[in-house]
Chain A
Amino acid sequence: MSDEVRTLVIDGRDVAGASGQSILSVARENDIEIPTLCHLEGLSPVGSCRLCMVEVEGTSRLVASCVTAVEEGMRVTTRSSRLLAYRRRVVELLFTERNHVCSVCVADNHCELQELARSLGATHFELAPLHPVAEVDATHERFVLDHNRCVLCGRCVRACDEIEGAHTWDIRGRGTTARLVADLGVPWGESTTCTSCGKCVQVCPTGALYEKGRSVAEAKRRRPYVPFLVARGQA
């Protein structure tokens, strides 16, 4: 990232960022909130959840603000009725894709997906839930992987690879049958690469990864831990 300054307008406000900085990052520096799910400061951006899509004047296409660098003179809109409707729909797609039942979830009230639904006003669903049969992997001595709650954001994959350097996690399969997988498809407890560091658990936005012994609504992430990881990741 160079030190050259880029000035632009986000939601009608004049703001400045460094060249190479993402729209999302500049927006957040200026307290303009754009919803995200796959994004986590310190991990490489992948632009896969599509919640951070914004409108840029002069192009008909929406762009993912987490992977789009600011440009001089850009005019960005982060809130519009169209964007809100699309974001709600994405959240709805996530909720209906697996079995997200907040009332019996370890992450209830500490869940980013739940919070997104709340903040976007996604209170009712038009789409029918898919009710897939998804496994729970409790073979690890300290942690649990519940595929029912996984949103395939890939944060755990990146934290494990980029920060811990173990690359225990990856995604296998494709489409809606894609699943988080340890090593080459072994139960988590049998993974020979997992260091049991728990970083994946701390970065998980939902109740897909949690510590054993937690019951409903008890999987509160240790938030101070995350910036620490991020600082390591950026070093």
Chain B
Amino acid sequence: MTSTEATEPLSRARRRPVEPLLPEGEARASANVCQAAGCLSMQSDLVFEALRERVVAAGLGDVAVRRVGCLGLCAAGPLVEVPERGRLFDHVHADDQAAMDALVATLAGGEPGGRETSKEPFFSHQVKVVLERCGRVDPERVEDYLATGGYQALTQAVATMSPEEVITEVARSGLRGRGGAGYPTGLKWATVAKATSAEGKYVVCNADEGDPGAFMDRSVLESCPQQVLEGMAIAGYAVGAHNAYVYVRAEYPLAVKRLNSAIRQAEREGLLGSRVAGTDFEFHVEVRIGAGAFVCGEETALLASIQGERGTPRPRPPYPASRGLWGRPTLINNVETFANVPAIVQRGGDWYSSIGSAKSKGTKVFALAGAVVNTGLIEVPMGLTLRQIVFDIGGGLAGGKNFKAVQTGGPSGGCLPEALLDMPIDYESLAQAGSHMGSGGMIVMDEATCMVDVAKFFMDFCREESCGKCVPCRAGTVQVHRLLEKITRGRGTREDLALLEDLAGMMRSMSLCGLGQGAPNPVFSTLRYFRDEYLAHVDDHVCPAGACEMDGGDR
């Protein structure tokens, strides 16, 4: 097979007329209207319709109005970007004539309105690999993805590279699992590639994102599902798998819809399915929808759920790489991990490893949430400090309040205090500080937050989400939550505090899966950095932050 044959589907896609929206490069200016869940919830679909009418009415024939994915600054939606003029319009509503006028004027080449993105650290401090096309392409049109170089990596891999070469490239990139644990992706791929199975292997994409405050995977799937599919297909080629599943939680209906449409379109283009890019490589992707269990983000529980069984984890080993879906070798990676792959294959592992810090390569997508000014979706090189994220990109604390802590890593992560703000964000530093990278949720807390209450919140979450299989997690989360409840009501004693630490230590060592083992982390990290707050509750029966309602009186 020659490489011209392999790229043939691409050129065919490019020839397809894309009326009435002019493709990138052909329009003099374009208005990218965010259609991801955040902006859509504020009726950005109406903004798109209204703006298109205005553009037509103004006779701007060389202007494109596009539906795109997440533009990042979710706090200020609905968002419209005019990339050619470097402008972002926030809080745009369909019936806001002034905003519409400013947009049309900017598109027509007049005095530009809106915010100048190059001058705002929120945009200028970011490095986009995973989110490269988010906010640039229409998530429901494969043509847009192809027009921005999409599927070239897959075509290149299947046509010109051996599976071993693909794995070498991924290993050289230093990419580590973005789901949280940070396992080297190249090593995982090599393990699955080496596993032999007469009945085939599987690739599974973990899109069961469930950490409170986390929306990275949702945004990627809603904004550029093709990039994830391309990464999965490259993985399938590398490890020798022909079937794949994307396991998405049911709470993400828009992501599911766009993913399904993306799969159909990619199959239509011959980029997924029986003959990928015209080669003998076969790769079929199906979507599986979760039933609302957080624990199904744990890989063995996720696989059980795909098989139609009760979603509970099982002890490892055997790891999915040797015995996964229906007992066959299975490669399971997170959405963001797969979304990194096309760029790595195309630009090389060395390019990727030039971004980031010594042991944590590349970029990381974070869902910046909580008490910062600029809440939203960001992608930064590894090694950036927490301070740069919270104060430069995040714009500091909202309402002029003082910073107290930043929580990373979801319910199994930790709360980091002000003293650690200059710590670089990488897997090792975060783990050393008692938190972990996690999937990328980052919740900023201000001075009005009580850290004991935060620990209680996360323990409540784990208590609700414990599957109930192993005793330490099932009953331990309930007991720890009760102790925290007691302390936040001013009824706790020093003995309760000791018992709390003891129970938390037992849960960490004895639980079956990561949910139970990680559940005490918010307790440990708040005890480590904010013990005085616990003591104030216990000894003085006061909540220093003023967040907890004390029962007072008798204990």
Contact = CB atoms under 8 A, between A and B. Distances in A.
A74 interface: no
Given A48-B469, A48-B470, A94 B475 contact: yes
Interface of B: 293, 295, 310, 314-315, 463-472, 474-479, 482, 499, 502-503, 506, 509-512
A175 B466 contact: yes
Contact of A90 (B295, B467, B471): B471
Contacts of A24: none
A217 interface: no
Q: Which 6 A-B pairs have the closest CB atoms?
A: A178-B468, A93-B475, A175-B466, A47-B315, A97-B475, A67-B315
A89 B500 CA distance: 12
Interface stretch (A125-133, A134-142, A192-200, A227-235): A125-133
Contacts of A48: 469-471, 512
A93 B476 contact: yes
Contacts of A130: 475, 478
Contact of A152 (B295, B310, B468, B477): B468
30 contacts: A46-B315, A47-B314, A47-B315, A48-B471, A49-B470, A50-B470, A50-B510, A62-B509, A86-B509, A89-B506, A93-B472, A94-B471, A94-B475, A96-B475, A97-B478, A127-B503, A130-B475, A130-B478, A151-B471, A152-B468, A152-B469, A173-B468, A174-B295, A174-B468, A175-B463, A175-B474, A176-B468, A176-B475, A176-B477, A178-B468
Interface string A50-79: 100100000001101001100000000000
A171 interface: yes
Nearest to A45: B315
Contacts, number: 95
A46 B314 contact: yes
Contacts of B512: 47-48, 50, 64
The main secondary structure of chain A at its interface with chain B is loop
Interface in A141-177: 151-152, 170-171, 173-177
Contacts of A152: 468-469, 474
Contacts of B464: 175
Nearest to B473: A175
A171 B468 contact: yes
Contacts of B468: 152, 171, 173-178
Contacts of A86: 506, 509-510
Contacts of B502: 89
User: Which residue among B315, B466, B469, B502 has the maximum number of chain A CB atoms within 10 Å of its CB?
Assistant: B469
Contacts of B499: 126-127
A34 to B, nearest CB: 14
B472 A50 contact: yes
A133 to B, nearest CB: 15
A62 B510 contact: yes
Interface of A: 46-50, 53, 61-62, 64, 67-68, 85-86, 89-90, 93-94, 96-97, 126-128, 130, 151-152, 170-171, 173-178
B521 to A, nearest CB: 15
B319 to A, nearest CB: 13
Nearest to A154: B469
A170 B465 contact: no
Given A48-B471, A93-B475, A174 B465 contact: yes
A85 B470 CA distance: 17
A39 B440 CA distance: 38
B510 A176 contact: no
A35 to B, nearest CB: 12
B282 to A, nearest CB: 34
A175 B314 CA distance: 16
A152 B293 CA distance: 19
A50 B466 contact: no
Nearest to B462: A175
Given A48-B512, A50-B511, A90 B472 contact: yes
Given A46-B314, A50-B511, A126-B499, A176 B471 contact: no
A86 B472 CA distance: 9
A173 B469 CA distance: 11
Contact of A174 (B314, B466, B470): B466
Contacts of A50: 470-472, 510-512
B509 A176 contact: no
B458 to A, nearest CB: 15
A131 B510 CA distance: 24
Contacts of A97: 471, 474-475, 478
A130 B464 CA distance: 15
Contacts of A178: 467-468, 474
Nearest to A126: B499
A49 B471 contact: yes
B474 A96 contact: no
Contacts of A175: 463-468, 474, 477-478
Query: Which of B293, B295, B471, B474 is packed against the most chain A CB atoms within 10 Å?
Result: B471
A128 B482 contact: yes
A174 B479 contact: no
B207 to A, nearest CB: 21
Given A175-B467, A175-B477, 4 more contacts: A67-B315, A89-B502, A97-B471, A174-B293
A22 to B, nearest CB: 11
A171 B179 CA distance: 28
A130 B512 CA distance: 22
A113 to B, nearest CB: 11
A79 B502 CA distance: 19
Contacts of B482: 128
B528 to A, nearest CB: 19
A61 B3 CA distance: 50
